[in-house]
């Protein structure tokens, strides 16, 4: 735990724009972020795993390590993740590469990547993620801002519906979790 915190703080100081958090997410946030993964089939992709707070929870939900791929831009986090989670594919690549991995029928994408301040990344990432997702697949995102993370306009553009999974107060800072799915025709 102390080692994990030290690694996280070190990376936050080296790459504040990418890390954008003051510490790893809590167990409560990780449980909320991984809701619905039980009973899913097919690959699961986690983007921006950091020190693996959500990775642990994904595996606890019954996702076999072989089904899980992590995309993380920090080389140091990747080294630690590879060591901590045997059997999981840890790739030192940006989340935007999700469409280039040869994955299809993805059950879910679990995202800790800071998206709010990056509209271009948001559009690119959501578009690519849903292009490899199965129809019932979902994209779960954490955010620390009370602002709506993906505007109604962008959701309409990308054909997405959003579900608010609520605020997690037991996290520093308190976090909001949203789940996106392909919109069903009305
Ligand atoms: C706020 S931290 C979250 C870490 C972890 N999920 C947690 O909740 O404790 C954001 C993480 O996203 C990674 N990251 C930022 N931009 C990324 C990108 N484009 N692709 C993949 N990882 C990215 C950072 O290196 C960092 O590990």
Cα–ligand 1 centroid distance for 2 (angstroms): 19
Question: What is the domain partition of the chain in residue ranges?
Answer: 2-182
Q: Is the CB of 49 under 6 A from ligand 1?
A: yes
CA 74 vs CA 8, 18, 114, 137, 159: distances in Å: 10, 9, 14, 27, 31
What class is the 2-182 domain?
Answer: alpha beta
Residues in contact with 120: Cβ distance below 8 Å, sequence separation at least 6, in sequence order: none
Report the chain (186 residues): mean pLDDT per 10 consecutive residues: 79 78 90 97 97 98 98 97 98 97 97 87 94 97 87 92 95 94 83
Ligand 1 site, residue 150, Cβ cutoff 6 A: no
Q: What gap in Å lies between CA 69 and CA 125, rounded to an integer?
A: 16
Nearest CA to ligand 1 atom 10: 19
Decide whether any atom of ligand 1 lies within 6 Å of the 95 Cβ: yes
pTM score:
0.94
């Amino acid at each position: 735990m102390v080692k994990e915190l030290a690694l996280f703080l070190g990376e936050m100081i080296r790459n504040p724009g990418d890390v954008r958090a003051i510490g790893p997410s809590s167990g409560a946030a990780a449980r909320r972020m991984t809701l619905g993964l039980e009973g899913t089939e097919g690959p699961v992709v986690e983007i921006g795993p950091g020190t693996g707070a959500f990775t642990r929870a994904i595996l606890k939900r019954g996702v076999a390590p072989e089904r899980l791929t992590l995309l993380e831009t920090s080389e140091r986090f990747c080294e630690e993740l590879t060591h901590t989670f045997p059997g999981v594919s840890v790739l030192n690549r940006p989340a935007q590469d999700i469409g280039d991995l040869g994955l299809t029928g993805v059950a879910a994408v679990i995202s800790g990547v800071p998206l709010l301040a990056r509209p271009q990344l948001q559009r690119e990432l959501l578009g690519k993620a849903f292009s490899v997702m199965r129809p019932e697949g979902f994209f779960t995102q954490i955010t620390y801002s009370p602002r709506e993370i993906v505007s109604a306009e962008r959701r309409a553009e990308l054909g997405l519906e959003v579900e608010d999974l609520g605020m997690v107060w037991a996290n520093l800072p308190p976090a909001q979790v949203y789940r996106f799915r392909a919109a069903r025709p009305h």
